[in-house]
Amino acid sequence: HTYRVAVIPADGVGKEVVAAGCRVLDAVAEQSRTFRFEWTEFPWGSDYYAKHGRMMPEDGLETLRGYDAIYFGAVGWETVPDHVSLWGLRLNITQNFDQWANVRPVTFLPGVTSPLRKAAEVELDWVVVRENSEGEYAGLGGRNLSGRGPGNEVALQTALFTEKGCERIMRFAFDLARKRRVKKVSSVTKSNAQQYGMVLWDEVFARVAQDYPDVATESVLVDAMSAKFVLHPEDLSVVVASNLNADILSDLGSALAGSLGLASSANLNPDGRFPSMFEPVHGSAPDIAGLGVANPIGQISSGALMLEHFGLAAEAARVEAAVRGATAAGVRTRDIGGNATTDEVTTAVVEALQRA
Ligand code: NAI
Ligand code: MG
């Protein structure tokens, strides 16, 4: 079988880590002999914007629609305002392809020091499930609404919560929890202060939970949850949260695992009407871009999520094992305390695959 994947490295370290990810995925495919990847690269992003005044072509979504999946790097560069680059490319795709479930695993890797590990012998094995289509990133609102001239501007940024949107992400989270060792879903809101949307969220959560009596539940406010991430990480399995809250919590989660460069993510359209998109959690990291030292593990593990999405669970597990092999052997980039380059880590992962 041939999987046709659209590749969008976009900006900064995205260009470096996407190449690393494709190398690892090609190595898995070659070993399996039952499937291969056909990569089609699209040079969209901030460089494209400089030439064309937009982040991707007008018919870009139509082009992408025909692919089995999208393998994405990171978007954002100093030449384009961040909200323009994000909405022009990444959010354009997640919103229009109805990729409403964003899955972001958080785990420890051997040989990687976590700020948590210093304190106690804990294990981290979480999945942050992010509502990815509405909430605080619905794009609703406007600027200069006062009409009273300079110094009086009023801007409105409205969060959108629909009963259907809440319900589908919660069922997704519960179904995922059922497949995990610890069957528990923690729902995160700020429903004491945000009394409309987040109260609806809480109510839908309580109702959906009744259909999953075998799964433990809790509702935690986001401020308390950020403390809990640090103080009681062993208490968590699946964490379901709105677009903004889950965005913030998943960066915290990856930092607790050792580095933002390790964290993977899948933007899923579970209905299967559109291609899903796989990308690391991190951004374009302008501070280290071009140096060849970016950690490729977030991108490589996002590739493992893509394999899982294609039904290749054994191959996905092999990629994860190879990543653990590389970090355990001490082949680590700077952000996790080593001095290996992106290429060296990628080679170590490919070699671990070939040894297995
Ligand atoms: P960032 O994630 O790019 O970087 C934050 C810190 O983490 C930096 O110190 C960076 O060096 C480090 N880091 C990130 N990825 C790494 C990797 N693979 N290996 C080693 N270290 C890594 O976030 P920042 O600096 O806030 O944003 C930079 C640009 O990226 C902005 O334009 C922003 O809008 C964009 N961005 C894009 C995202 C996406 O495409 N999904 C997500 C987050 C930010
Ligand atoms: Mg983020």
pLDDT over 90 for what percent of the chain?
90
Q: What is the pLDDT of residues 223-233, one digit of tens each?
A: 999 999 998 88
Average pLDDT rounded to a whole number, residues 303-318: 97
Q: What is the pLDDT of residue 119?
A: 54
Any idea what DSSP says for residue 227?
A: H
Report how far apart, in Å, the C-alpha atoms of 63 and of each of 3, 49, 52, 66 are: 16, 18, 17, 6
Establish whether domains 1-104+260-356 and 114-257 are of one fold. Answer: yes
CA atoms of 348 and 24, how far apart (whole Å): 10
Average pLDDT rounded to a whole number, residues 125-129: 95
Atom 26 in ligand 1: residue holding the nearest Cα: 283
Average pLDDT rounded to a whole number, residues 326-343: 96
Q: Got the DSSP string for 156-205? A: EEEEE--HHHHHHHHHHHHHHHHTSSS-EEEEEE-TTT-TTHHHHHHHHH
N- to C-terminal Cα separation, the chain: 23
Residue 13 Cα: closest atom of ligand 1: 18
CA atoms of 74 and 88, how far apart (whole Å): 13
Identify whether the C-beta of residue 311 lies closer than 8 Å to the C-beta of residue 272.
no
Identify whether the C-beta of residue 167 lies closer than 8 Å to the C-beta of residue 161.
no
Q: What is the pLDDT of residue 97?
A: 97
Q: What is the pLDDT of residue 120?
A: 57
Pairing of strands 276-280, 264-268: antiparallel
Q: Which fold has domain 1-104+260-356?
A: Isopropylmalate Dehydrogenase (3.40.718)
- Scanning the chain, the segments in alpha helix (DSSP H) are 13-32, 46-52, 60-65, 82-85, 91-96, 115-119, 163-178, 197-209, 222-231, 243-257, 297-309, 313-328, 342-355
Maximal C-alpha separation, the chain:
69
Mutate to test the pocket of ligand 1, among 75, 137, 260 (most ligand atoms within 8 A of CB): 260
Q: What is the pLDDT of residues 341-351, one digit of tens each?
A: 999 999 999 99
Span from the CA of 7 to the centroid of ligand 1 (angstroms) = 19
CATH class of 114-257: alpha beta
Q: Is the pLDDT of residue 203 over 90?
A: yes
Average pLDDT rounded to a whole number, residues 230-243: 94
Which value does ipTM take for this structure? 0.98
Q: What is the pLDDT of residue 293?
A: 98
Domains of the chain, by residue range, sit at 1-104+260-356, 114-257
Report how far apart, in Å, the C-alpha atoms of 94 and of each of 62, 129, 228, 243 are: 14, 15, 29, 12
Contacts of 274 (CB under 8 A, 6+ apart): 65, 96, 97, 98, 99
Q: What is the pLDDT of residue 38?
A: 98
Report how far apart, in Å, the C-alpha atoms of 218 and of each of 69, 85, 168, 180 are: 34, 36, 18, 17
Span from the CA of 283 to the centroid of ligand 1 (angstroms) = 3
Question: Which amino acids bring their CB within 6 angstroms of ligand 1?
Answer: 13, 17, 74-76, 82, 86, 90, 260-261, 279, 282-288, 294-295, 298, 333, 335
Average pLDDT rounded to a whole number, residues 12-33: 97
Q: What is the pLDDT of residues 251-293, one digit of tens each?
A: 999 999 999 999 999 999 999 999 999 999 999 999 999 999 9
